[in-house]
Structure 1
Amino acid sequence: MDAPNNELMSALATLLEAGKYSDLTIVCGVKRYAVHRAIVCSRSGFFDGACSSPFREAQTGIIDLSDDDAEAVEHMVRYFYHLDYLNKPKSRRSSYRSSRPASPTSPRSPTRRRPKKLNLALVEDPLLATAAASAAANPLTPPDDRTNQFEMLDSSKLPDTPVEDQYVEEDPFENTFEDQLPDSTQAHLVTHAKVYAIAEKYGIAGLKSLAQRKFSTQIALHFSCPEFPDACQEAYETTVDSDRGLRDLIIQTFRAHPDLAFRKDVEDVVKVTPNLAWELFRLGWGMPVY
């Protein structure tokens, strides 16, 4: 992203974190999310209808989603302000620095410690310090040996870095958020299926598409993980037959890895998930699955 986009995304993230200017509250169990109608209602037909109708939600400014999965609701709210979920956004500091052109005369390493500002009050004049020491030892006779004039300095009072590094450009976005890379070691297949379902329920097309992409990526990498059968059941029980977004990905995974059918945990889930069992039956007989 370029600098303007980074600034916009950071501002949106700050709105969610601080709750400033909030005019709507989403409740899910014990959790409350201070959100903004202009952001939420413009992204979801459900929220737009709830806030623009004479229903109780429009009057109280509170929408209760306690019947929904708490984790899915949290990721949905996060998506409204971050265009993502599960992964924390890049820090404003990192985004800001990545958007600045590198200085041709003084390149800095990304891992270099930020220098401290020079406090002139703590630095003694080396010439005055040497003269004072000489006068105290023998005020009338100059010393025979020329000592290093810098030996009289208290090293603890010197700046930590050279003077040329003291005047660094201030970073206006420092310490706003912490960076966190995506966790590719965990599948989160059930989570993606839940987010996909809640995005469909509340008409959030962008979130539904994002959840489908995440599910597709992770099922290709983690089809052998213990979470796989639960994700299959979640996807089939929370979507209608005509919604093939996740179901096709699951059938494709069974087609590419037929040994999955021999897993006991997969067998147990297939027995209690009729739609999945029916589609796998058609797959086994070479019939089209749709």
Structure 2
Amino acid sequence: MALRIRTTSLSSYNGEAPQSAKSEAPKYELMSALATLLEAGKYSDLTIICGARRFQVHRAIICSRSGFFDGACSNPFREAETGIIDLSEDDEEAVEHMIHYFYHLDYLMRPRTHSRRTSRGASPPSSQPTSPTLRRPRRKLNLALVEDPLLAQAAAANSYNSYNSYAPPAASNPLTPPAEEEDDFNFGKMPPDSAIEMLDSWGLESFENAELADQEPDLSQPHLIVHAKVYAIAEKYGIVGLKTLARAKFSSQLSVHYNGHELPDALAEVYDGTVDSDRGLRDLVVQVFRAHPEIARRRDVEGVVRETPGLAWELFRLAWGMPV
């Protein structure tokens, strides 16, 4: 999930607030609340165990996305009675990424190296102290301390009463709905810093503090084995979206690291961790051998082919021009 706001083009709005940015706010509000639920474990009614790890999760979120977990919790099984599901037979890292996906709709992402504020260029150092009316203190929202994470975050965002000053939140019920604000801001007459402060008053800054703002896939390091394991666990537990995502990530990684050191182990993971009829990752492997036949001459790859009959058979058919 990424939200990009170009501060250099705010003057082009000619007095009209960017409605697209405001329309994204509810989505980021929801994703921020879900992330906080996983981090804090509040309202958890289900525990997933994998080795020494314990994950405090929520049946409404987990069971609605997986037929396996739905069946385990809705039928007269021990897991439904104890509220504990033991996945210690699965790969611990794959289980962690699976649970992360349930709450973030993604996994194995890295924050971008830039942010909205730094994209304008660094400001020259000043010898005078910064006025509190020009720089508001950033607050890390802890939604686990209130009754309703969604409404509480909206109330916290509303406590920033204006775009160039900070007012402490009023001592009121955290569930009190925020007051309505006017929409007719003239961005064309605002300096860039003031325009950014106005955008922050909509609550977008609080989402950035919740570590949901700008993320991108990490292609700098090979993660072929991880994506193959996540794909396998998604297939095992019937998580269609995660399976599709893991395949896309594996494909992106394979296009970059097809000649990397992880390739032999990734090949073994693909053919040992999935059934023969599942062509999701196997077709990608065949395609990379077709596009880069030289990798078949690597001695480490040759060793895996000798020990993996399924891969050896498909490469044999590929070499003879037969359909795979």
- TM above 0.5, yes or no, is yes
CA contact (8 A) 1:72 1:195 kept: yes
- Distance in 1 (CA, whole Å) between partners of 2:34 and 2:121 is 26
Q: How does 1:25-174 map to 2 (within 5 A)?
A: 25-88=47-110, 109=120, 116-118=131-133, 172=203, 173=206
Give the 3-state SS of the residue equivalent to 1:34 in structure 2.
strand
Query: In the alignment, is the contact (CA less than 8 A) between 2:133 and 2:164 conserved in 1?
Result: no
Match of 1:214 among 238, 249, 256: 249
C-alpha RMSD over aligned residues: 2.7
> Which structure: larger Rg?
1
Which residue of the partner structure matches residue 285 of structure 1?
320
Q: Could you say if the C-alpha distance between residues 47 and 110 of structure 1 is closer, same or farther in structure 2, counting changes exceeding 3 Å?
A: farther
**1:217 alignment partner AA:** S
For 1:111 and 1:193, the matched residues in 2 are separated by 41
User: Equivalent residue for 1:152?
Assistant: none
Distance in 1 (alpha carbons) for counterparts of 2:65 and 2:121: 37
SS for the counterpart of 2:232 is: helix
1:183 CA displacement: 2.1
Is the contact made by 1:23 and 1:61 (CA closer than 8 Å) also made in structure 2? yes
1:225 to 255, 260, 264: 260
Query: Which segments of 5 or more consecutive residues in structure 2 lack a partner in the other structure?
Result: 4-23, 135-162, 167-196
Task: Using CA pairs under 8 Å that are at least 6 residues apart, name the structure with larger relative contact order, 1 or 2.
Answer: 2
Do structure 1's residue 183 and structure 2's residue 218 form an aligned pair? yes
Instruction: Tell me the SS of whatever aligns to 2:235.
Output: helix
Whether 1:193 and 2:208 are equivalent positions in the alignment is no
Aligned to 1:20: 42
How many residues are aligned here? Answer: 231
Alpha-carbon distance in structure 1 between the residues aligned to 2:263 and 2:232: 17
Distance 2:218 2:231 in 1: 19
Q: Is the Cα–Cα contact under 8 Å of residues 82 and 89 in structure 1 kept in the other structure?
A: no
- Residue matched to 1:248: 283
Matched residue of 2:47: which SS? strand
- 1:176: Cα distance to partner? 2.7
1:118: how far off? 4.8
Aligned-partner SS, 2:209: coil
Unmatched 5+ stretches in structure 1: 99-107, 120-163
Distance 1:111 1:19 in 2: 38
Q: Sort the Cα spacing of 1:110 and 1:16 in 2 relative to 1 into closer, same or farther, 3 A.
A: farther
- Rate the CA distance shift 1:22–1:88 in 2: closer, same or farther, 3 A: farther
Specify the alignment match of 2:29 in structure 1: 7
The 8 Å contact of residues 48 and 56 in structure 2, kept in 1 or not, is answered as: yes
Give the letter for the 1:256 counterpart.
A
Tell me what 1:128 maps to.
none
Mapped contact 1:270–1:277 kept (Cα < 8 A): yes
Conserved 8 A contact 2:219-2:256? no
Shift of 1:184: 1.6
Partner Cα separation in structure 2 for residue 254 and residue 109 of structure 1? 45
Deviations 1:89-137 (A, max 9, x none): 78xxx7xx89xxxxxxxxx947669x54159xxxxxxxxxxxxxxxxxx
Q: Give the TM-score taking structure 2 as reference length.
A: 0.66
Following TM superposition, by how much is the alpha carbon of 1:229 offset from its aligned partner in structure 2, in angstroms?
Answer: 1.3
Alpha carbons of 1:33 and 1:111: their partners in 2 closer, same or farther (altered >3 Å)? farther
Residue 165 (structure 1) shift: 5.7
Where 1:27 maps in the other structure, the secondary structure is strand
SS at match of 1:57: helix
Residues 34/287 of structure 1: CA separation in 2 closer, same or farther (3 Å cut): same
* 1:193–1:235 CA contact under 8 A, matched in 2: yes
Whole-angstrom distance in 1 between the partners of 2:234 and 2:26: 28
Question: CA offsets, 1:140-183, max 9 Å, x none?
Answer: xxxxxxxxxxxxxxxxxxxxxxxx96565565516332765432
**Which residue identity is paired with 1:230?**
D
